[in-house]
Homo-oligomer: A and B are copies of this chain.
Protein backbone atom coordinates (compact mmCIF):
# COMPACT_ATOMS: atom_id res chain seq x y z
CA UNK A 1 0.00 0.00 0.00
CA UNK A 2 1.83 3.08 -1.21
CA UNK A 3 1.38 5.48 1.67
CA UNK A 4 -1.55 7.66 0.86
CA UNK A 5 -1.96 10.87 2.80
CA UNK A 6 -2.13 9.93 6.47
CA UNK A 7 -5.31 11.77 7.28
CA UNK A 8 -4.14 13.02 10.64
CA UNK A 9 -0.78 14.52 9.74
CA UNK A 10 -0.31 18.18 9.04
CA UNK A 11 0.08 19.22 5.45
CA UNK A 12 1.63 22.46 4.22
CA UNK A 13 0.92 24.81 7.12
CA UNK A 14 -0.62 27.74 5.32
CA UNK A 15 -0.33 26.78 1.69
CA UNK A 16 -2.66 23.84 1.80
CA UNK A 17 -5.29 25.60 3.83
CA UNK A 18 -5.30 28.54 1.45
CA UNK A 19 -5.53 26.18 -1.49
CA UNK A 20 -8.52 24.38 -0.08
CA UNK A 21 -10.27 27.59 0.86
CA UNK A 22 -9.76 29.15 -2.53
CA UNK A 23 -10.77 25.99 -4.32
CA UNK A 24 -13.91 25.79 -2.26
CA UNK A 25 -14.66 29.43 -3.06
CA UNK A 26 -14.45 28.74 -6.75
CA UNK A 27 -16.38 25.49 -6.91
CA UNK A 28 -19.04 26.83 -4.60
CA UNK A 29 -19.50 29.75 -6.95
CA UNK A 30 -18.43 32.45 -4.52
CA UNK A 31 -15.96 33.53 -7.18
CA UNK A 32 -17.64 34.21 -10.49
CA UNK A 33 -16.29 32.87 -13.76
CA UNK A 34 -13.86 35.26 -15.39
CA UNK A 35 -13.39 37.13 -12.14
CA UNK A 36 -9.88 38.44 -11.84
CA UNK A 37 -7.78 37.00 -9.05
CA UNK A 38 -5.26 39.66 -8.06
CA UNK A 39 -2.51 38.21 -5.93
CA UNK A 40 -2.09 41.19 -3.65
CA UNK A 41 -5.82 41.45 -2.96
CA UNK A 42 -6.19 37.78 -2.18
CA UNK A 43 -3.13 37.86 0.05
CA UNK A 44 -4.59 40.75 2.01
CA UNK A 45 -8.03 39.16 2.19
CA UNK A 46 -6.72 35.85 3.47
CA UNK A 47 -4.07 37.31 5.76
CA UNK A 48 -1.26 35.48 4.10
CA UNK A 49 1.80 36.25 2.04
CA UNK A 50 1.70 36.67 -1.71
CA UNK A 51 3.89 33.61 -2.17
CA UNK A 52 1.25 31.33 -0.71
CA UNK A 53 -1.37 32.79 -3.04
CA UNK A 54 0.92 32.39 -5.99
CA UNK A 55 1.61 28.75 -5.29
CA UNK A 56 -2.07 28.21 -4.75
CA UNK A 57 -2.96 29.78 -8.10
CA UNK A 58 -0.47 27.51 -9.83
CA UNK A 59 -2.13 24.48 -8.32
CA UNK A 60 -5.58 25.70 -9.24
CA UNK A 61 -4.44 26.27 -12.79
CA UNK A 62 -3.22 22.69 -12.98
CA UNK A 63 -6.63 21.66 -11.67
CA UNK A 64 -8.24 23.56 -14.52
CA UNK A 65 -10.10 25.88 -12.19
CA UNK A 66 -8.26 29.08 -13.07
CA UNK A 67 -6.40 30.34 -16.11
CA UNK A 68 -3.20 32.30 -15.80
CA UNK A 69 -1.93 34.41 -18.66
CA UNK A 70 1.77 35.28 -18.61
CA UNK A 71 1.96 38.82 -17.39
CA UNK A 72 -1.72 39.48 -17.04
CA UNK A 73 -2.69 37.56 -13.97
CA UNK A 74 -5.18 34.85 -13.10
CA UNK A 75 -8.92 34.58 -13.61
CA UNK A 76 -11.52 32.04 -12.61
CA UNK A 77 -11.83 29.71 -15.53
CA UNK A 78 -15.00 29.94 -17.56
CA UNK A 79 -16.31 26.51 -18.49
CA UNK A 80 -18.37 26.63 -21.64
CA UNK A 81 -21.38 24.44 -22.17
CA UNK A 82 -19.55 22.44 -24.83
CA UNK A 83 -16.73 21.82 -22.43
CA UNK A 84 -19.12 20.78 -19.70
CA UNK A 85 -20.43 18.15 -22.07
CA UNK A 86 -16.89 16.92 -22.70
CA UNK A 87 -16.23 16.75 -19.01
CA UNK A 88 -19.40 14.81 -18.39
CA UNK A 89 -18.56 12.34 -21.13
CA UNK A 90 -15.20 11.82 -19.50
CA UNK A 91 -16.72 11.45 -16.08
CA UNK A 92 -19.11 8.91 -17.53
CA UNK A 93 -16.39 6.53 -18.64
CA UNK A 94 -14.36 7.07 -15.48
CA UNK A 95 -17.29 6.48 -13.19
CA UNK A 96 -18.14 3.51 -15.38
CA UNK A 97 -14.74 2.08 -14.57
CA UNK A 98 -15.27 2.82 -10.92
CA UNK A 99 -18.68 1.13 -10.91
CA UNK A 100 -17.11 -1.88 -12.59
CA UNK A 101 -14.43 -2.13 -9.91
CA UNK A 102 -16.99 -1.58 -7.19
CA UNK A 103 -18.97 -4.52 -8.52
CA UNK A 104 -15.89 -6.69 -8.17
CA UNK A 105 -14.93 -5.49 -4.70
CA UNK A 106 -18.26 -4.77 -3.04
CA UNK A 107 -18.68 -6.21 0.44
CA UNK A 108 -22.11 -6.82 1.97
CA UNK A 109 -21.51 -3.83 4.20
CA UNK A 110 -20.81 -1.58 1.27
CA UNK A 111 -23.92 -2.77 -0.53
CA UNK A 112 -25.97 -2.19 2.59
CA UNK A 113 -24.69 1.36 2.81
CA UNK A 114 -25.61 2.02 -0.80
CA UNK A 115 -29.10 0.63 -0.30
CA UNK A 116 -29.45 2.86 2.71
CA UNK A 117 -28.55 5.89 0.65
CA UNK A 118 -31.02 4.82 -2.03
CA UNK A 119 -33.74 4.66 0.60
CA UNK A 120 -32.77 8.15 1.71
CA UNK A 121 -32.97 9.39 -1.86
CA UNK A 122 -36.47 7.98 -2.19
CA UNK A 123 -37.47 9.71 1.01
CA UNK A 124 -36.10 13.01 -0.23
CA UNK A 125 -38.14 12.76 -3.38
CA UNK A 126 -41.28 12.04 -1.41
CA UNK A 127 -40.49 14.95 0.86
CA UNK A 128 -39.96 17.15 -2.19
CA UNK A 129 -36.48 18.09 -1.04
CA UNK A 130 -34.33 18.50 -4.17
CA UNK A 131 -31.29 19.75 -2.30
CA UNK A 132 -31.38 16.82 0.08
CA UNK A 133 -31.76 14.53 -2.90
CA UNK A 134 -28.78 16.09 -4.60
CA UNK A 135 -26.75 15.61 -1.47
CA UNK A 136 -27.70 11.96 -1.15
CA UNK A 137 -26.87 11.58 -4.82
CA UNK A 138 -23.36 12.84 -4.14
CA UNK A 139 -23.05 10.51 -1.17
CA UNK A 140 -24.00 7.51 -3.28
CA UNK A 141 -21.44 8.30 -5.95
CA UNK A 142 -18.85 8.82 -3.23
CA UNK A 143 -19.71 5.46 -1.69
CA UNK A 144 -19.27 3.74 -5.04
CA UNK A 145 -15.92 5.41 -5.58
CA UNK A 146 -14.82 4.42 -2.11
CA UNK A 147 -15.84 0.82 -2.68
CA UNK A 148 -13.91 0.66 -5.92
CA UNK A 149 -10.64 1.49 -4.18
CA UNK A 150 -9.27 2.99 -7.36
CA UNK A 151 -7.19 5.95 -6.39
CA UNK A 152 -6.30 7.02 -9.90
CA UNK A 153 -9.84 7.12 -11.19
CA UNK A 154 -11.02 8.70 -7.95
CA UNK A 155 -8.53 11.52 -8.27
CA UNK A 156 -9.48 12.27 -11.86
CA UNK A 157 -13.19 12.15 -11.14
CA UNK A 158 -12.79 14.55 -8.24
CA UNK A 159 -10.91 16.94 -10.49
CA UNK A 160 -13.57 16.83 -13.17
CA UNK A 161 -16.44 17.19 -10.74
CA UNK A 162 -14.99 20.38 -9.36
CA UNK A 163 -15.14 21.94 -12.80
CA UNK A 164 -18.83 21.33 -13.40
CA UNK A 165 -20.59 21.65 -10.06
CA UNK A 166 -21.81 24.95 -11.39
CA UNK A 167 -23.89 23.13 -13.98
CA UNK A 168 -25.18 20.55 -11.56
CA UNK A 169 -27.90 22.71 -10.11
CA UNK A 170 -29.66 22.80 -13.42
CA UNK A 171 -30.54 19.13 -13.35
CA UNK A 172 -31.95 19.00 -9.85
CA UNK A 173 -34.70 21.41 -10.75
CA UNK A 174 -35.94 19.65 -13.85
CA UNK A 175 -39.37 18.23 -12.96
CA UNK A 176 -39.50 14.45 -12.97
CA UNK A 177 -35.75 14.15 -13.29
CA UNK A 178 -35.35 12.92 -9.74
CA UNK A 179 -37.53 9.86 -10.26
CA UNK A 180 -35.72 8.65 -13.36
CA UNK A 181 -32.45 9.45 -11.63
CA UNK A 182 -33.45 7.25 -8.72
CA UNK A 183 -34.34 4.42 -11.11
CA UNK A 184 -30.93 4.72 -12.74
CA UNK A 185 -29.13 4.69 -9.43
CA UNK A 186 -31.08 1.65 -8.30
CA UNK A 187 -29.98 -0.23 -11.39
CA UNK A 188 -26.37 0.67 -10.68
CA UNK A 189 -26.53 -0.53 -7.11
CA UNK A 190 -28.32 -3.71 -8.15
CA UNK A 191 -25.56 -4.52 -10.62
CA UNK A 192 -22.88 -3.83 -8.03
CA UNK A 193 -24.69 -5.97 -5.46
CA UNK A 194 -24.93 -8.76 -8.01
CA UNK A 195 -21.21 -8.50 -8.64
CA UNK A 196 -21.80 -7.89 -12.34
CA UNK A 197 -19.11 -5.47 -13.56
CA UNK A 198 -20.40 -5.16 -17.12
CA UNK A 199 -23.90 -4.29 -16.04
CA UNK A 200 -22.61 -1.89 -13.39
CA UNK A 201 -20.50 -0.03 -15.89
CA UNK A 202 -23.28 0.10 -18.45
CA UNK A 203 -25.78 1.34 -15.89
CA UNK A 204 -23.44 4.06 -14.68
CA UNK A 205 -22.75 5.22 -18.18
CA UNK A 206 -26.37 5.44 -19.20
CA UNK A 207 -27.04 7.30 -15.97
CA UNK A 208 -24.44 9.95 -16.69
CA UNK A 209 -25.56 10.17 -20.31
CA UNK A 210 -28.99 11.09 -19.00
CA UNK A 211 -27.47 13.77 -16.81
CA UNK A 212 -25.54 15.18 -19.75
CA UNK A 213 -28.68 15.19 -21.87
CA UNK A 214 -30.63 16.97 -19.16
CA UNK A 215 -27.99 19.67 -18.85
CA UNK A 216 -27.90 20.20 -22.56
CA UNK A 217 -31.65 20.53 -22.83
CA UNK A 218 -32.19 22.70 -19.79
CA UNK A 219 -32.33 26.41 -20.42
CA UNK A 220 -29.49 28.82 -19.90
CA UNK A 221 -29.72 30.87 -16.77
CA UNK A 222 -26.78 33.19 -17.22
CA UNK A 223 -26.30 35.03 -13.99
CA UNK A 224 -28.33 32.66 -11.94
CA UNK A 225 -25.94 31.11 -9.55
Contact = CB atoms under 8 A, between A and B. Distances in A.
Interface of A: 2, 9-13, 51, 54-55, 58-59, 62-64, 70, 78, 80, 82-83, 86-87, 89-90, 93-94, 96-97, 150-153, 155-156, 160
Contact of A12 (B70, B151, B156): B70
Contacts of A87: 152
Given A54-B55, A70-B12, A151 B94 contact: no
Contacts of A51: 51
Given A83-B151, A90-B156, 4 more contacts: A59-B62, A64-B155, A87-B152, A89-B153
A93 to B, nearest CB: 4
A151 B55 contact: no
Quick one: copies of this chain in the complex?
2
Contacts of A13: 70
A63 B70 CA distance: 20
Given A58-B55, A59-B58, A153 B90 contact: yes
A11 B151 CA distance: 32
A82 B12 contact: no
Nearest to A62: B62
Contacts of A89: 97, 150, 152-153
A78 B13 CA distance: 24
A70 B10 CA distance: 8
Nearest to A201: B93
State the 6 A-B residue pairs at the shortest beta-carbon distance, nearest first: A62-B62, A86-B152, A93-B93, A93-B97, A90-B152, A58-B58
29 contacts: A2-B78, A2-B80, A2-B82, A2-B83, A10-B70, A11-B70, A12-B70, A13-B70, A51-B51, A58-B62, A59-B62, A64-B155, A83-B151, A83-B152, A86-B150, A86-B153, A89-B97, A89-B153, A90-B94, A90-B97, A90-B150, A90-B152, A93-B93, A93-B94, A93-B96, A93-B97, A94-B94, A152-B160, A156-B156
